Structure 1
Amino acid sequence: MKILYVARLYSGLENSINELNWEPRGVPTVAKLIERLSKDESINLRIIFSVKDGYTTLSLTNDKKIKISGINADISILSGYVFGHLPKTKIHKMIREISHTYKIFRLILIEKPNVIYFDHGSIWTAGLISRVLSIPTIFRVMGISPAMRRSQVQVNFVNRILKWLYKAPFSAVISTEDGSGSKLWCKNSLNHKATCHIWLNGVNHISSPPIITETHPEKFSVLFVGRLDPDKGGKEFLEALILCKNKFNKNIRGVIIGDGIEMQLMQKLSQKHQLDIDFQGLIPHAKIMDMHKQTHCYVSLNQFGNLSNANLEAMASGQCMIVPQPKPYNEIDAITDSLFGQALCYVPSPTNTDALARVISDLEENPNKIIYKKRCMYHLARKYIPTWEERIDKEMALIKDIAS
């Protein structure tokens, strides 16, 4: 069977494109599915990556066709340039989307695939092709972003088009269950004929029951992992540790893994208040898992859902986690609370640093509570979180069923 896979080019795939050797960094839902599709001898795979601003730094003024060692597929890269320049206005970006759609449409007519798989970055193409061609289409949603919510409530030209595109008669929609309120959004935004599958992502493995082994026995250690950007809560995490020190007289060690635009600001804040903070930057995945075993608890303050890949890995390691309370009005983290609430520690909101400092201080004073939360999390993770192999098995079965 012929399968056409269409996705934006993610930064985690840049190295593979440049080196022509498959070594993905991040985006496991994309990379692992491509690997499985490529290895399946019953599938003739064709891939199109389109360059979008904000998702890759790859400078490509013209389209090109490549082969990558480790992936059995012809791969086309569609340039993000318009008239020889990166698009800076909405009009130019729309011209780029029209150009990409035309090129993909032309390739579909030539290749005649049995099924087309689109990621969310290709919604303009996916929605149109699903409406005008009879070829089965699968639309992949990587969680619900604020822009996707706005498209359903704000009345302007672009959002009117997006709303119409989301209502396209897709053969199936696959949404990542990342705590962002996928169920409610899919119910309100998609065509009622499109079957919607909302799945948790996977993990490499579920760790053995956690044992707290303190690398720094004299220090209570708290871990933060993620982009150091305004909507991820890194600065709020640091401010809570300042309160732990100044207001609650707690000697807390913070471990921060990640990089981003707030890194220098946070480092200066740490120095100013003489905090014990270990800024580790970007480190290999295996070392992140080691840090979960070497810290007492983990803080995640994402405003748009807390079942990210990093958080699923933390859960699978049996980590004691502090997260914001769910938001009933848009169902953000409703599923997080439903599945894992018994093992979680809550703060009222991602920006309530005083409440976060109180929760951290309470855990520092109650080690038995940490042990209970870790053991509880381990058992819930084993119950609800699939391995990546199990997760991709479901997606492969769906694709083959639709293609046949």
Structure 2
Amino acid sequence: MTPPLPEAVRHALDRPELALLWQRIRKQLERTDAQPRGTVRIPIPDHRTASELGAILGRRLTGHIGKNTQVDLGKLDQILRAGPAQLGLPDVIVALTGEQLLQKQVQLTTRTAGNQQVWQELLDIMDGVPQMADERALLAKSPVGPVQHPPDDTAAITRSWQVYEPAIRAACIWWRAHNDGRRMAARQLAGLAFRDTKKWTDQRRVAFANLVQRPFDQAVDEADVPIKMSGPLVWKFQDTIAHAATARPWIGLPAQGIRTLGYIECDAKGILVVENVEAFEKVCLLDGVTERWLCVWNQGNPRKRLMRFLADLNLMVAAWCDLDAYGIRMMANLEKGIGRSVTPVGMSLALWRTGTKLIQTDQQLAWARDVAANFSTRGPALLRELAVAIAETGDCCEQETLYEQVLPTLDATLRAFEHSGA
């Protein structure tokens, strides 16, 4: 147990001007296994710091103001032992901070032990799966440490352990089912492998597909999802299956089915994607819009099947989303998913400034500011000015509060896009 510091000594050492000194010394001691060796460099920004540090080291430091000085840990250890503290440097650090040294080493050891357990689990579940034998041999030879990495030549082709581990678990379950002649559903597999049916990510899908040697949608079954739409689109197979222009206010067509069965006829001028379902329905009921444009509900956030469908149509795309950081992110994801630019509708900076703002917590506002800041320089070009403004406040203006401003002029706005070729 570390002896206590005399109160007068603690008062002299526990000064704000010395905080950086003790912080850097602690890091050095943890690197040297608590032995007072080496030096640390300390900046001297002002007279007060020069005075406080000079008093500890027993030398004048006023000539170092605006510069740095080197502190030798061995010499400082001797000074403290010979002075009123009567303690060596390691004990002084512990007494001042209230934390034992080498906590980082303890944490690293704990993380290594946890990684060792997971490493062994993966080896165990790969055992007995012939198709995973090579991967198992690679993992068995890979080192285990506090920060774990996949083997260099992994068939998963990922450098992220957070992707690799779940992909291995899913692949082992999948191969066992495949070898028994059983086909699995995507969410079923996620529930068994990840203990959460919603934990598939794009990266995990790719790594898993690499491990099972086939595309994800061929390896597992996924429930089809409806695409809600209205406009000049006909789905045919021998005869007409569905006509999106005749349904009021919209029709739901299966995302996978519409791409794999029969063919599509669409003479729309463009596609208008709307984020929220109520706003989507309002648009579908407008006179003139769905006669020329195919209006599609964004499903809250563009899913892969929706984006593949939109990409296949190869039409100009406009989108109306909430005027917030997440609406901008949604637009960026949509552009990336369909491989071409998307023109924003009803998402001007002026509308955001004058619109009704959503009540949010301080934490929600902070999150929104961070998201907007990320898109202020690399987001969709037409929305970067809006992103800069939202990055300052985090405010959100939901599209449902802008019906009176956007809907009356929407037809004219889309006609302008047609003429400009946006």
TM-score of the pair, normalised by structure 1: 0.29
When you count strand as a share of all residues, which structure comes out higher? Answer: 1
| Structure of greater Rg | 2
Report which structure shows greater RCO (CA 8 Å, sep ≥6): 1
